Amino acid sequence: MSPSPANAWDQRIAATALRALIFDVDGTLADTEQAHLAAFNEAFVEAGLGWHWDVAQYTRLLEVSGGKERIAHHWALENGGMSAIDGLAMADTIQRVHDLKTAAYERQVAQGAVQMRPGVLALIDEAHAAGLRLAIATTTSPVNISALLRQAIGPDWMLRFEVIEDASTAPRKKPHPQVYRQTLARMHLPATACLAIEDSANGLAAARAAGLATVITPNEFTAHHDFGQALRVLPQGLAGVSVADLRRWHAERSATAA
């Protein structure tokens, strides 16, 4: 027997009411890319590679998600796609350089080089208090997430996030939707009951491909990206944005999607 109109409506409301926020990390929770850039350059010196990325070059390289993928992409550009060493040796070298980079990034975060973006911590606290479920869907590594959030929130930072999907669990990097699909699956939630918060075109594409309405907070490295598919673009970031705002924008989207 089909559900009564009232039950069907209740089910529809339940399926579309905002129940969770899924946060990207780099460029969204914090302005991390300057520190990532400095860490890459430090690793290149340590590895004797003789490379140095400036801000303009790094802004272009950020179109490739994932630090190892970015090094491989640059390597290919440097060598016209050719490589003097075989694939295995290349993969080993990239892994070694990326490990040096991750250690350098961790040091920088520990020295206070990375700040959370304005409004992020307040929104996380308000959303948590309002009973919204929180998750992280990022391209970066567990080490980098922990270094950042341990510094910004404290040793119990993980209690704020029900699900964390990252490079160790989702090797297919954004714009592939794997990291968002796995987050939704582990939360047992439909995409319609969630909002993604991102900073880049790759992130937006990944979230949209997973069916997620997405709020964009651009930054100095991504302001020129195409955010045409976003629910909202917030040039000022999340400063002053409340849970009520997010609920309203999400409901507007649900109403138009009906």
Q: Which of the residues are catalytic?
A: 24, 26
- For ligand XBP, give the closer residue by CB, 174 or 250: 174
24 binds ligand XBP (CB under 6 A): yes
Give 165's strand partners. Answer: 137
Q: Please tell me the count of residues contacting Mg ion according to CB under 5 A.
A: 6
The Cα angle at residue 133 between residues 216 and 256, in degrees rounded to 5: 50
214 binds ligand XBP (CB under 6 A): no
- For ligand XBP, give the closer residue by CB, 36 or 250: 36
**How far is residue 199's CA from residue 124's CA, in Å, rounded to a whole number?**
17
Buried b (16+ CB within 10 A) or exposed e, 39-78: bbbbbbeebebebebeeeebbebbebbbbbbbbbebbeee
The correct pick among 41, 139, 151, 183 for binding ligand XBP (CB under 6 A) is 139
The correct pick among 18, 21, 67, 227 for binding ligand XBP (CB under 6 A) is 67
Q: What would the x/- binding string for ligand XBP be over residues 84 to 123, using CB under 6 A?
A: ----------------------------------------
Strands 133-137 and 163-165, by their bridges, are: parallel
Helix axes 201-209, 178-187, angle to 10 degrees: 50
165 binds ligand XBP (CB under 6 A): no
203 binds ligand XBP (CB under 6 A): yes
Please give the residue ranges that form the binding site for Mg ion (CB under 5 A). Answer: 24, 26-27, 199-200, 203
Please give the residue ranges that form the binding site for ligand XBP (CB under 6 A). Answer: 24-27, 36, 65-67, 138-141, 144, 167, 174, 203
